Amino acid sequence: MANPIPQASREWEFDVFLSFRGPETRYGFTGYLHKAFCEKGIRTFMDLEDLISGKKIQQTFARAIESSRIAIVVFSEHYADTDFLLRELVRILECSERYGQFVLPIFYLLDPGEVRHQRGSYEEAMARHEEKFKDKVPVWRAALRDAANLSGLHFKGDEFEYEFIERISKLVLAILKEDTLPVVADNPVRAEPQVKASQESLSSFSSPRQYQYHVFLNFRGCDTRYRFTGSLFKALRDKKIHTFMDDVGLHRGNDISRTLVEAIKGSRIAIIVFSENYAESTYCLDELVKILECQESDGQFVLPVFYDVYHSDVRRQTGSYGTAMAKHEEKFKDDPSKVEKWKRALHRAANITGFVFDGKKYEHEFIGKIVEVVSREIKRVNLHVADYPIGLESQISEVKSLVFSDGYDGVHMVGIHGNGGSGKTTVAHAIYHLIANGFESICFLENVRENSYKHGLVHLQNILLSNIFERKNLKSTSVEQGISTIQHWLQQKKILLILDDVDKLEQLQALAGKPDWFGSGTRVIVTTRDKSLIESHGIERIYEMENSNSVQ
C-alpha cells in the first residue's frame, strides 16, 4: 500500500463525490442528499446524466474521485448491475488507500450483508458479470466486501428520510472540520464474519463461540495504563463486564505472547485505545493486526477510541504515527511487508466508527458512554453458555438447516416441538448463539408460558420492544396497542426472535402474529410442547425433538 499523502499537501476540488445508481436514487434520495449538501455549502460532485453500462470511467470522473475529500457510496438494490459503478467503486477505494480520503457507505433500503457477501440482487448481478467480465469480477467482489466492512449508515425505511439525510450532512460536516470522528451511531452498521455460510456448512454442526472474556483492551501502557485505560477497566469491571487488561510483564521478546493471542481470540469485543505513542509499540500493532483478523473470521466487535489523538493521524499515518512508522520502516527494512501490514491495519481500524476524546468533556462521562455501548453489545451474545449435552449436536445442526432451508431472504417461522425435558430450549439457545450476528437485532423471550401468566402479554410485548430498540417510549399499555407498535416498528427490521415455551395461541398472536410484521431475513423460532398450537398459527417448518427426559 502506498503511503497516504497528508491532507495538507492535497488541494481538494470537491468536498464530496457521490457514487450511486441513477435509475434508483437520482431523482429521490440521492437528489435530496445533493440538495442538502449544496444548501450547507458542501461542494459536491454528482454526475449530471446516467452513463452507459460498461463504459470506462471518463477522465472527468477519475479526476473528480481523486479530488474529493469524501466519497459517499449509495448502495441500493441494483447498484451492482452496472459495471461502470463497480469500476468507480474500485477507484474510490484505491484513492482512499493512496490519498487518505474518507469513504462513507450508505445502505439504502438494503441489508449490508447482501453487499458484503454478494447475496440476493448482488449475487445475481455478479453472476451475470462473470460471463462478460470474468477477470474483473474477483476485484469487484473484493471491493464490495471491503466497502461494506467500512462503518456506514443504514436507511431501513423506519425513519423520515429527511432526518436520515440531515444525519449524513452533520456527519460530513464533522469530517470536513478535519480529524473529527463522530461517536458511535445509534444503529451503526457492524461487520459480520467473512466466512460464507454455504448450504454444506449449515448442515454440519459447529459449536457456538465460547468467549473467555467480554472485552480485550488494546492500548499503549506508557500513555494510558494508569489513567484513562485504568479507569475504563475499572468502569467495565464495576458493571460485571469481564475484561482482559494485560500485565506489564506480558510484553517480552519480539512478538506478542501466546497469552495475549489467546486473550484476543477469546474476547467478544476488542477496544483499541489509540493514543499519541501507540504506533511506537510493535506489540500494540501486532495485537491490532490480530484483532482485525478476529473481526473478519469470527465477527469480533471492534471499538476504536481516539484518546487525545487525531483519528486522521491514525488513518493516514501522519503526525506521531507517521514518525513512528518511519522508524519502523528503517528498523524492519529487511521485512517491509511487516510495516505495510501495520499500516493497512491502522488505516482500516481508523475507518471503524468509534469514540473521540478531545479533552473537552469529563473523562468519567466519556467512559460511561463507552461502557453503555459495550453493555448493549454484550446483550447480543450471553457469555455463559452451558456445554451441550451429548446427543443434541445433530439436532442443533438439523434445526439450523431448517431455519435457512430456503436461503437468507424472506420471513420464516420455525417450530421446535418436544416434551418437557426433551432439550428444545437448549437447542433454541444453541441456534441463537450460532446465528445471532447475522441479524440487526435479536430477542430471546424465555419462559413465555410462565411469564405471560405472571405478568401478562403486554409485559412480554414491552420486553420484545425494549430488547430491539432500547427505547422506553415504545411501551404499550394494551395488547392491541402492542400489536400495532410491533407491526409498525419491526416491519423493516431483520431480527432473530425466539419465543420459548409457548402454550397459548394468543401468545403467538400478540408477539409474532404474521410474517409481514417483520423485515426480510427475519427468523422466528418457537419452542412448545403443543404441536397443534404452532400448526394452527400457520408454522409449517416444525422440528420434532427426540424425547430425552434426562436433558433439562
Residue that is written with C-alpha cell 441513477 in the block:
22
C-alpha 461/C-alpha 35 separation (Å) is: 41
CB 147 within 8 A of CB 107: no
Q: In this structure, what DSSP letter does residue 523 have?
A: E
The H or E element that residue 412 is part of is: strand 412-417
CB 496 within 8 A of CB 523: yes
Q: What is the side-by-side order of every strand in the sheet holding 102-108?
A: 44-45, 14-19, 68-75, 102-108, 153-155
> How do beta strands 14-19 and 102-108 pair?
unpaired
C-alpha 199/C-alpha 399 separation (Å) is: 13
CB 412 within 8 A of CB 403: yes
**Residues forming a β-bridge with 102:** 70
> How do beta strands 412-417 and 441-445 pair?
unpaired
Residue that is written with C-alpha cell 446427543 in the block:
391
Take residue 146 and report the three cell numbers written for it. 471491503
Q: Which listed residue (192, 287, 293, 544) is catalytic?
A: 287
The H or E element that residue 224 is part of is: helix 221-224
Q: Which long-range contacts (CB under 8 A, 24 or more apart) does 361-367 make?
A: 363/228, 363/231, 364/231, 364/235, 367/228, 367/231, 367/232, 367/235
CB 518 within 8 A of CB 493: yes
C-alpha 215/C-alpha 178 separation (Å) is: 30
Helices (H), 133-204: 137-148, 161-176, 199-203
C-alpha torsion sign, points 201, 203, 206, 209: positive
287 as an active site residue: the answer is yes
HSE (CB half, 13 Å, CA atoms) of 312? 20
> For 429, left (φ over 0), alpha (ψ -120 to 50), or beta?
alpha
- In 3D, which of 194, 21, 189, 198 has the Cα closest to residue 111? 189
Q: Enumerate the active-site residues.
A: 287
